[in-house]
Amino acid sequence: MCGILAVLGCADWSQAKRARVLACSRRLKHRGPDWSGLYQCEGNFLAQQRLAIVSPLSGDQPLYNEDQTVIVVANGEIYNHKKIRKQFASKHTFSTGSDCEVIIPLYEEYGENFVDMLDGVFAFVLYDTRTKTYMAARDAIGVNPLYIGKGSDGAVWISSEMKALNEDCVKFEIFPPGHLYSSAAGGLRRWYNPHWFAEKVPATPYQPLVLREAFEKAVIKRLMTDVPFGVLLSGGLDSSIVASVTKRHLIETEAAEKFGTELHSFVVGLEDSPDLKAAREVADYLGTIHHEFHFTVQDGIDAIEEVIYHDETYDVTTIRASTPMFLMARKIKALGVKMVLSGEGSDELLGGYLYFHFAPNKEEFHKETCRKVKALHQYDCLRANKATSAWGLEVRVPFLDKEFINVAMSMDPEWKLYNPDLGRIEKWAMRKAFDDEEQPYLPKHILYRQKEQFSDGVGYNWIDGLKAFTEQQVSDEMMQNAAKVYPYNTPINKEAYYYRMIFERLFPQESARESVPWGPSIACSTPAAIEWVEQWKASNDPSGRLIASHNSASANGHAHAHGNGNGVVVANGTNGAAANGTANGKMEE
């Protein structure tokens, strides 16, 4: 992942302004530690901090057309860039090996109507000196972060992260996924208009081989890399399938020619937690070079302020899930790995969260999956991207491949429904698609392992430790005055209050606090799904263990409160987070 910053239409063209833009851009250096660049044309500035994954020796940005009249800064992976290069081989002279350079000939050929031709994830800004116009766009689901704001002089600021523009904009907001901004047209418009956005229930029959093939293609295209890579492996269904498909097809890729066919896998968590054990078992089965990282509650507590700074959120479950991923990313980068594949998105597309068991019918089930996918950019995509980009590590998410999304969301949701009478647990459609008797992808007991909520799969002490710590940091009197201190999105427990204090100190602007979603949740549901079960309405605990269908719920005997109830966070592909309750402050491999 790279970091981009564009400031467009400034009244001030001075060296002092250029220096200010450079200073703001440097706040994104963690995203792109390999190189930096800045283009200026009068009061228009395009800056980039580069993480070199594809063509590390020749892909520095900004990128230009032949006569340098079109300029682009981008944070993206364009998986069909070679096909596009061939299309324009006779029309355009490419000057770098960057996959993002294809944005330029597409724009010159089609104007602003080319974004849907890009197969990948991206956030980019393009400036045309001939017309003195610019455009910006963000990928379909919002895998790559982007913000947009306005300065006091009317200049438009566009940045990969809030921290590069919050001090210089009078107002800013999240740049919506699947949209482009056009200065010529004077605003935002949606470029991504899939059939499922209308939330009409699809009727396409379940075709397991079609689902499997679409996912395998999604994984294979994400093996486009010129640097060492690996997979995040929690031992759950999603990360295990990602690892299995990667291992199976790695030998066919150019990456294997450069780095060999050995696959590295990574997990983080509490010693003896379920995820660590399951990941070890899957790694042994697949034959990966497996790296297991441990951390303590104190390690996590010490990292929380950094996590909030990088994640730019005060959402409780996001912070909980991001912290171990943040710690693990540093360890992975220290091993010389710059890119990993992960399993985010499966639960949203396929209804994998345990609360989906209580969907009253397939219509409500499908609508909830639509709502979940539309909100991914505020939760799991934000977590996976920012927690790893903090250390210059790129995460790729094959479940959020545009074509795989089309296949998964076109399926009659009847096949996604939890139905124990038919032997169908959550994500049965995905499990069945990869249940190959002749050439098994995974052992049966892993393939059909029940979904675990974040704190359950990785151990309980991490969540309990956070709650105990924040209980000591926030007094009862502070909570009584919470609504006066924080009238907007008022924290409703001490953990939420503690995170909010840190966030407000780092990002005190009104626009910053308004960028964080808020609302009731149960087991990662949207607020709308709480209507499915009457007793959920009175709960302040989004833990998956409150869901009666979980086979350990009754045996456990207690539930762990998950903060403010915002809910859309799961450690899918984050490979676990847990702690042993000690306070030695050390990580170990």
Closest to 60 measured CA to CA, from 93, 97, 18, 114: 97
Of the listed 2, 100, 169, 370, which one is catalytic? 2
Closest to 463 measured CA to CA, from 549, 399, 390, 544: 544
- For residues 491 and 479, what is the distance between their CA atoms, to the nearest angstrom? 8
Rounded (5°) CA angle 98-102-105: 140
Residue type (1 letter), 418: Y
What phi, psi does 250 have (nearest 5°)?
Answer: -60, -40
Rounded (5°) CA angle 145-146-152: 150
- For residues 16 and 14, what is the distance between their CA atoms, to the nearest angstrom? 5
CB 340 within 8 A of CB 232: yes
Query: Which two three-digit tokens encode residue 330?
Result: 């540093």
CB 172 within 8 A of CB 146: no
Handedness of CA 558, 563, 564, 565 (dihedral sign): negative
Which residue is listed with tokens 């919050």? 166
Q: Alpha helix (H) ranges present in 312-395?
A: 316-334, 346-350, 362-374, 380-389
Name 444's Cβ contacts closer than 8 Å, sequence gap at least 6: 435
DSSP string, 44-89: EEEEEEE---SSTTT--SSEE-TTS-EEEEEEEEETTHHHHHHHTT
CB 387 within 8 A of CB 330: no
SS3 412: coil
SS3 157: strand
Residue 2 annotated to the active site = yes
Q: Prior bond to 62 cis, omega within 30?
A: yes
Ramachandran class of 253: left when φ > 0, alpha when ψ lies in -120 to 50, beta otherwise: beta
Rounded (5°) CA angle 295-299-301: 130
Cite the beta strand spans of 65-178 per DSSP E: 70-78, 120-128, 133-138, 147-151, 156-159, 169-174
Cite the beta strand spans of 270-307 per DSSP E: 289-294
- For residues 321 and 292, what is the distance between their CA atoms, to the nearest angstrom? 17
Name 294's Cβ contacts closer than 8 Å, sequence gap at least 6: 268, 269, 270, 271, 580, 587, 588, 589
Name 6's Cβ contacts closer than 8 Å, sequence gap at least 6: 44, 45, 46, 47, 73, 125, 127, 134, 136, 156, 157, 158, 159
- For residues 496 and 519, what is the distance between their CA atoms, to the nearest angstrom? 13
Active site residues: 2
